[in-house]
A = this chain, B = another copy of it.
Amino acid sequence: MTTPHVRSPLALSLPKLTSISGVRMSGVEANIRYSGRTDLMLVEFAPGTTAAGVFTRNLCPGAPIPWCRQALESTPHARALLVNSGNANVFTGRAGEEAVIACATETAEKLGCPVEDVFLASTGVIGETLPYQKILTALPSAIEALREDGWEDGARAIMTTDTFPKAVRRDVMIGDIPVRIQGIAKGSGMIAPDMATMLAYVATDATLPQNILQALLEEGVKTSFNAITVDSDTSTSDMLMLFATGQAAHAEITSLDDSNLVEFRKAMGELLHELAMLVIRDGEGITKLIRVNVQGAHDDESARKIALSIANSPLVKTAIAGEDANWGRVVMAVGKSGEPADRDRLSIAIGDHWVASKGSVQEHDVEALDNYMRQQEITITADMGLDSGCATIWTCDLTHGYIDINGSYRS
């Protein structure tokens, strides 16, 4: 295995992490596939913690995905989250389901909670039977290591081809009570080289019923994890979960539109967006972060499809990698999306430079544009000139690094 794990040039350092009252976390070595590093994260939540989640739409999901979906349907509560790296437990048939049941049962017994309050995830190689005995063996030490300040340990234990650990925090008020939100994520591509999966977990000490938590999550995911793409490939194990421990004694929240929730809601949206940006910043082989804005489209959904067509175009992504303001490829990507478009109304900007306007090339400062292309963050804007639909998608460029990571691997 020659996969290089050079730290992403767009990596960000971990922020100063805090603790969230009602959350204890650990990361230990279970030797599932890796050795000499932690590969098992355990999180324990205080009784009464509510949970919400969104999961991959891939129709061949890993065994933990249906488990989590069912658990969320049967109870609003969460008491534990157990995540291993190194093996995705995907396409493992009955053995995969047995592993899930065994891990959840053992965790529930050891922590003294109902089995449906235990959430699970696995990330790593696809198609190999998960050696779950190793997880059961490591479980006691994971429980022993649980600490309120164990967040960094957790963030590191779930990494696969990630080149840096990812976390974001926010401190906000609900009414006059201070509340904290903190989240961790892993992912280095929608799916990494055999080492599948984007995972993100966010916890808060706020006191929120499950329906509000789920609504906050579904609102926030639109402009964060559902607005990023590395390579258009959708993992079999993607999952984003949100936990509220109910330790903060603020006034009861019964509606998403509660005026006391305004600041929290905004902060949650920002935190999810920043977590998603950390995943893109660790996109396989990334040298540039690309923001694709589509405006003036028929409607928002049409704008989103056009933005994804641009963001997933190998030709656009290789052009950006080559620091070439190749707007002809953007035109191509707009046209191939199949969405309403009129060449003679279409305008395209790279950064602030409008290179094409209403169907033909526009005079622009070539030297300034060349300088702009050398930056690490590039914005492409397509104005369809039709109506008011708009959308933004973030992606990274397509480089030799991506080929190295994904083509030089041996399963």
Contacts and interface: CB of A to CB of B under 8 A. Distances in A.
A188 interface: no
A191 B128 CA distance: 38
A343 interface: yes
Interface in A217-237: 231-236
A398 interface: yes
Interface stretch (A201-209, A264-272, A273-281, A324-332): A324-332
Mostly, the A contact residues are loop
A312 B60 CA distance: 18
Given A91-B343, A314-B231, A314-B232, A127 B361 contact: yes
Contacts of A409: 319, 322, 324, 326
A315 B231 contact: yes
B360 A93 contact: yes
Interface string A392-411: 00000011101100111111
A324 B94 CA distance: 26
Contact of A321 (B126, B325, B400, B403): B403
Contacts of A129: 361
Given A127-B328, A319-B406, A341-B60, A333 B90 contact: no
A402 B196 CA distance: 24
Given A191-B332, A335-B59, A321 B407 contact: yes
Contacts of A60: 331-332, 334-335, 341, 343, 346
A351 interface: no
Contacts of A319: 406-407, 409, 411
Interface string A52-86: 00000111110000000000000000000000000
Query: How big is the A interface, by class?
Result: 35 or more
Given A318-B406, A335-B60, A326 B411 contact: yes
Contacts of A57: 336, 338
B338 A233 contact: no
A235 B322 CA distance: 20
A129 B337 CA distance: 25
A312 B313 CA distance: 11
A403 B407 contact: no
A372 B169 CA distance: 50
Nearest to A189: B315
Q: What is the total number of copies of this protein in its complex?
A: 2
A241 interface: no
A196 B321 CA distance: 19
Given A60-B334, A360-B91, A407 B236 contact: no
B91 A126 contact: no
A88 B331 CA distance: 13
Nearest to A320: B407
A194 interface: yes
Contacts of A94: 360
Contact of A318 (B59, B92, B234, B402): B402
A326 B403 contact: no
A380 to B, nearest CB: 14
A359 interface: yes
Residue with the highest number of chain B CB atoms closer than 10 Å, among A324, A327, A334, A336: A336
A328 B58 contact: no
B407 A193 contact: no
Contact of A234 (B88, B325, B335): B335
A191 B234 contact: no
Given A60-B331, A196-B332, 4 more contacts: A59-B340, A125-B328, A233-B332, A233-B333
5 contacts: A59-B334, A127-B328, A191-B315, A236-B335, A322-B408
